[in-house]
Amino acid sequence: MKKTLIIFICLNILAGYCYSQTVMQSAKQKKIDSVKAIYLDNAAISYPLFRQASLSTEVIGNANTTGDLFGSPLFKGKVNMTREKADFNLPFAAWGKNNLVGTFSYINQHYNISQVQDYNVQVPIRDMNFNTQTIGFSISYSRHDSLFNRPVIYSGTLASYTDQLSSIQKVSYLGTMVFPLKRTATNSLNIGLAVIVDPSSFFPVLPVFSYWHRYNNTELFLDLPSRIALRRQLSQNSWLEVSTELASTFSFFSINEPPLPQDAQYTLIELKTGPSYEYRVAKKVILGVYGGAFSTIDSRLSKRNADWKDYYVRNHTKAAPYLNFTVSFLPFMKPLNK
């Protein structure tokens, strides 16, 4: 009986110790997870690309535009656009130094072309309104590693796009290698290289340069070649930013003009410059208003998956005002741990 009692007491002590250790480990893990969540939220606030999801409506005002067909005048007129966009990032898995993320994107673009004067009788252009839809799916893999005794981040993204769910219309690949050179509480510096495998891409290889610096409540972002921004925190939950951002969009068209290919792709390289205001209305929800000048760097109509230089219509469009309303969500889903 005495022996049984001693064993019972020992088992209870052991159980209590194990429970205590479990509680301590659980509390420690919760603290680690909490710190990670704060870090991810701060990164997503500074870099909207890291946000879990976003919904936006964008209105681009009237702009004078002209079009050339194989280098000869095709038409002139005015064009304005309205865009509805949705993006969602799904963190699939994380293991060791590796991450796997899936992305879904949708964009509906409404074009309004008016006051048209056409110059080519074989391809008549008239006032018109039409919509295009583009659906995108991508999978991204990244790994934190070292090279030449320096930290390096490798990443690769395989993306597919379509305007119908029955088939894939376009596939592209993006690979990057980034070296974090410096990271302190007030600044960071990264350099690297990006390789783009996409026939419609103007630059197959691009240098990557990223610099961040904090001046009290103001932050400077140099993320070349895509963004230059100056961001100031107005309160705990609000920010004002002035930026210039370079981006590209594309649309799929079916053209019923016999001289031209029926299946076409319209590629637009655009530049947005102006102020923006964001307000954090809830723990994971941010409302944003963005505006300023929308400039078209280049726009081309070509056969689907043709090389960038193999286009048949090229548009020249003047700058126009734009306004964007966005609701976005900070990271709220965790990847599966392997």
The strand pairing partners of 48, in sequence order, are none
With CA atoms as reference, report the closest residue to 175 among 206, 200, 134.
206
Range 10-34 average pLDDT: 44
Residue 36: which pLDDT band, with cuts at 50, 70 and 90? low
Range 130-150 average pLDDT: 93
Same domain for 1 and 142: no
Same domain for 61 and 21: no
Structure confidence by residue, pLDDT tens digits, 37-81: 777 888 889 889 899 999 999 999 999 999 999 889 999 999 999
Same domain for 90 and 60: yes
Same domain for 61 and 42: no
Same domain for 99 and 38: no
Same domain for 126 and 89: yes
Residues 6+ apart with CB under 8 A from 238: 277, 278, 279, 280
Q: State which residues form the domain around 107.
A: 55-337
Q: Is the per-residue pLDDT at 13 higher than 50?
A: no
Range 96-101 average pLDDT: 93
Same domain for 136 and 41: no
Above pLDDT 70, what percent of the chain? 88
Same domain for 171 and 114: yes
The strand pairing partners of 172, in sequence order, are 159
Specify the number of domains making up the chain: 2
- The answer to whether the predicted template modeling score (pTM) of the entire model surpasses 0.75 is yes
Q: How far apart are CA 143 and CA 99, in angstroms?
A: 6
Same domain for 85 and 17: no
Same domain for 242 and 132: yes
Same domain for 27 and 99: no
Q: Is the per-residue pLDDT at 17 higher than 50?
A: no
Above pLDDT 90, what percent of the chain? 64
State the average pLDDT for the chain.
87
Same domain for 130 and 26: no
User: What are the backbone dihedrals phi and psi of residue 149, each rounded to the nearest 5 degrees, phi first?
Assistant: 65, 25
Structure confidence by residue, pLDDT tens digits, 170-205: 999 999 999 999 999 899 999 999 999 988 787 889
Please say whether the beta carbons of 250 and 134 come within 8 A.
Answer: yes
Residues 6+ apart with CB under 8 A from 323: 58, 59, 289, 290, 291
pLDDT of 18:
43
Category of 34 on φ-ψ map: left (φ > 0), alpha (ψ -120 to 50) or beta: alpha
Residue 141: which pLDDT band, with cuts at 50, 70 and 90? very high
